[in-house]
């Protein structure tokens, strides 16, 4: 069975390392630990049963809890597939940053580099528009460009 664990956002790697060390030192009935791309604040644990999973995360730093319902393999695959279909930001789209140093700012996309997962934007509502290159996962589309 698969269990979704809530952890402090941006502490997923640290928490996964701590839990992995704990798994390697005990025979706890835990089969795997996954840090899915695009699922910020969550880890997925494959365990023998709910008790084994709860024992693993008990009193661990940055662990906020466990979702109440376990998932089977098909449900987990469906959930991860939807997260992999990352929004396609295009040139001339209007985006808003929800994280990072430009949080709350709106910008117009000037260039998209899919290979590096980066976008070059011009911030709106600033005195001097300067092109800024940043990771695309820090932004969400608020207005699509008219592709007429």
Judge whether 71 and 2 are in contact, CB under 8 Å.
yes
pLDDT at 19: 94
Integer CA distances (angstroms), 4 to 68, 83, 89, 113, 147, in order = 9, 14, 28, 32, 39
pLDDT tens column, 3-25: 999 999 889 999 999 999 999 99
Judge whether 125 and 79 are in contact, CB under 8 Å.
no
CA angle 22, 33, 99 (to 5 degrees): 105
pLDDT tens column, 23-32: 999 877 999 9
Domain boundaries, the chain: 2-84, 94-143
- How many Å apart are CA 95 and CA 25, to the nearest integer? 46
CATH homologous superfamily for 2-84?
NusG, N-terminal domain (3.30.70.940)
- How many Å apart are CA 130 and CA 114, to the nearest integer? 21
Whether 82 shows a pLDDT value over 70: the answer reads no
- For 4, the token pair is 């979704």
Task: Tell me which fold the domain 94-143 belongs to.
Answer: SH3 type barrels. (2.30.30)
Q: Average pLDDT for residues 37-55, to the nearest whole number?
A: 89
């Amino acid at each position: 069975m698969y269990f979704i664990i809530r952890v402090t956002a941006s502490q997923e790697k640290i928490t996964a390392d701590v839990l992995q060390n704990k798994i390697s030192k005990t025979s706890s009935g835990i089969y795997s630990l996954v840090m899915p791309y695009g699922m910020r604040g969550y880890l997925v644990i494959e365990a023998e049963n709910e008790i084994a999973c709860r024992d693993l995360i008990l009193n661990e730093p940055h662990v906020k809890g466990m979702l109440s319902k376990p998932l089977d393999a098909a449900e987990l695959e469906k959930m991860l597939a939807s997260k992999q279909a990352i929004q396609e930001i295009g040139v001339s789209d209007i985006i808003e940053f929800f994280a990072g140093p430009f949080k709350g700012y709106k910008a117009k996309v000037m260039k998209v580099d899919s290979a590096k997962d980066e976008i070059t934007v011009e911030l709106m509502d600033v005195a001097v528009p300067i092109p800024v290159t940043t990771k695309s996962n820090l932004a969400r589309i608020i207005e699509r460009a008219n592709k007429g």
